[in-house]
Structure formats: structure tokens, C-alpha cells
Amino acid sequence: MRHIFSETWSGLRRHITMVVAVVVTTFVSLTLFGAGLLVYQQADLLKGRWYDRVEISVFLCTQATAGDNCTPGADITDAEREQVRQTLESNSEVAAVEFETKEQAYAEFQEAFDGSPVQDSLTVDQMQESFRVKLVDPAQFEGVVSAVAGLPGVQAVQDMREYLQPLIGVLQALQIAAMATGGLLLLAAALQIGNTIRMAAVARRREIGIMRLVGAGNLYIMAPFLLESLIAGVLGIALACGAIVAMVLFLTANPQVSLQAGAWIGWPEGIFAMVGVAIVGIVLSIVPTIIATRRYLRV
């Protein structure tokens, strides 16, 4: 083992510039890969929080709202509310109907804008009652909208996907871009690791030949090269994980009002990204080294 560690340290000193280049390339590529994992999870969180949970929102009239179906200065009546409920529940395209009271809407508003100046801008009486409608087929929403849009007491009918789809599309585009860029840099890092190991093997070909003559096995000869690439890979992984921690800290410490209304990534998603980065980084270090040593250590 002393010989293996000695050869590893010697190899790191001889090729310090190449090792630094490998660490930097691995760090950048793994950071972008980890960022892609975070964006992927963010898109799923937003989709799970709103896009899948709420398909159509039927907002009911209040004293403060105006609309063709609203009586000025009056809330929706019990009879009108019941008519809206029965219309929704009897529709074959509706899978489930959930009624949200003003108190529930206010509690959700307070949670969404906790710590924001907007939090105290509304009272319970200013909130709107609403029906949250889950559809059997989310693509078939026109029939439900037309059935309730003209009913007395209905102020507005909104399909939340109309507002969330552009944001999700942007996130998915960013995800693809980050993963594609990270993939290219991972390939570049793999090639650079393989090239570094090849150069190290060529520089030590005399020592390798001597070890072959004395009966050293392949694993014994490959061990220093594997340790060199693993050390460079671990350094790159540590830097990439540090960058991911910084991203999560920044996002959790500086929540934007527009994002507080939805779900935002936190430490569980950050840990998942770091685990993914660690696994990919270790594979990235080992596989090119094995390929390079199997090819260039034949003397």
C-alpha cells in the first residue's frame, strides 16, 4: 500500500496542471448537472403543487367584486352557491369538486406571502370563495367552463394551466439546456481524465514494465491511477456540492413573492441533487481511468 500511495502522490505532483484542469472541468460539469437536477425537481414541484392539483377554479362573487353575473355590493347567495355546486358535481367531465371558504383562502394567502408586505394587505372579508375542480380528462375543460361561466354568482372561471404552462415550459427548457451543457462538459471531463491517465501511463512505462517483470497484477498497477483520478473527482464533487448548497441557501433565504405562491425547492431536493452529483462524479472518475489503463498499460 505504501508503494501505491507513493506512486499516487508522485503522479499528482508530476501532472499538477492537468489535475487542476480535470478538477475545474469536473466541478463545472457536475455543477451544471446538479443545477439541471434542481430545475427538474422545481418543475415537478410546481406541476404537483398547482398544475395537477387544480385544473379549474370557479371564483364566486363578493361585495367587492364586479362581473356580469354578480349583484353589485352583494355576496353570492346560498341558493346560487348550491346551484353552482350541483352543476359541477352533475357534470360527467368533473372528477372531484372542492369548496374553499374565505377563511381557507385567507389562510392560504397568509402562508403563501408569509413575511411579505403583501401579507397584511387583505382581510378575510375581501377573499373570494371558490370551487376547485378536478377533471376526469384535463384536456377536456371547455364543457365545464361553459356550464358554469354564465351562472348567477360566478365572478370568473380560470384554468390555472393557462398561467402555469409558460413558467413550466421555461423551467423545462432550462432543464434541457442545463443537462445538455452539463452532459457535454461531463464528456469533456471524461476525455480529459482519460488523457491525463494516458500521459501518466506513458511517463511511467519503464516502471510499469519492471512491475510486469516481477509479476505485479493489473489491479496493483492500476491502483495509483485510480486513486489519482478519484482524488481529482472527489475535489470536483466537493466543489460542485458546495455550489449546490450555495444555490439552495440563496433560494431559501431570498424567496421571491412570485415564487412564494408556489412550491419551491429546499434541502430534500438539494440533497438529492448532491447524491446524483456524487454518483456521476465517481463514475466519471473511475470509468475513463479503467478504459485508459486497460489500453495503455500493455507493455
* Dist CA 255 CA 101 (whole Å): 27
| Cell triple for 219 | 489491479
* Dist CA 220 CA 199 (whole Å): 18
**Which residues constitute the domain of residue 181?**
2-50+165-296
**Are both 185 and 279 inside the same structural domain?**
yes
- pLDDT at site 210: 66
CA-based nearest residue to 189, from 112, 289, 66: 289
Alpha carbon dihedral 13, 19, 24, 28, in 10-degree steps, equals -150
* Dist CA 100 CA 102 (whole Å): 7
- pLDDT at site 61: 93
**Are both 178 and 225 inside the same structural domain?**
yes
**Are both 289 and 183 inside the same structural domain?**
yes
**Domain end residue (candidates: 159, 183, 202):** 159
- pLDDT at site 261: 46
**Are both 220 and 176 inside the same structural domain?**
yes
**Residue 193 CA to its chain's centroid (Å):** 28
DSSP label at residue 49: I
- pLDDT at site 259: 46
- pLDDT at site 229: 83
Q: What are phi and psi of 144, to 5 degrees?
A: -70, -40
**Are both 216 and 110 inside the same structural domain?**
no
| Cell triple for 242 | 458546495
**Are both 44 and 173 inside the same structural domain?**
yes
**Residue 38 CA to its chain's centroid (Å):** 3
**Are both 9 and 65 inside the same structural domain?**
no
Domain count, the chain: 2
pTM over 0.75: no
Q: How many CB atoms lie within 10 A of CB 267?
A: 12
* Dist CA 213 CA 219 (whole Å): 15
The pairing of beta strand 94-100 with beta strand 154-159: unpaired
- pLDDT at site 154: 93
**Are both 142 and 288 inside the same structural domain?**
no
**Are both 209 and 288 inside the same structural domain?**
yes
Please identify which residue in the block is written with the cell numbers 409558460: 166
**Are both 150 and 173 inside the same structural domain?**
no
Contact by Cβ (8 Å): 47, 170: no
**Domain end residue (candidates: 140, 159, 178):** 159
DSSP label at residue 262: S
**Are both 256 and 228 inside the same structural domain?**
yes
Q: How would you list the strands of the sheet with 154-159, edge to edge?
A: 94-100, 130-135, 56-60, 154-159
Q: How many CB atoms lie within 10 A of CB 173?
A: 12
CA-based nearest residue to 257, from 118, 127, 123: 118
**Are both 109 and 205 inside the same structural domain?**
no
Domain harbouring 120, CATH code: 3.30.70.3040
Mean pLDDT by 10 residues, the chain (299 residues): 59 71 87 87 72 77 87 90 94 92 90 79 87 82 87 88 71 78 83 79 70 66 79 93 93 56 77 95 89 65
CA-based nearest residue to 193, from 30, 31, 5: 30
- pLDDT at site 155: 92
**Domain end residue (candidates: 159, 174, 190):** 159
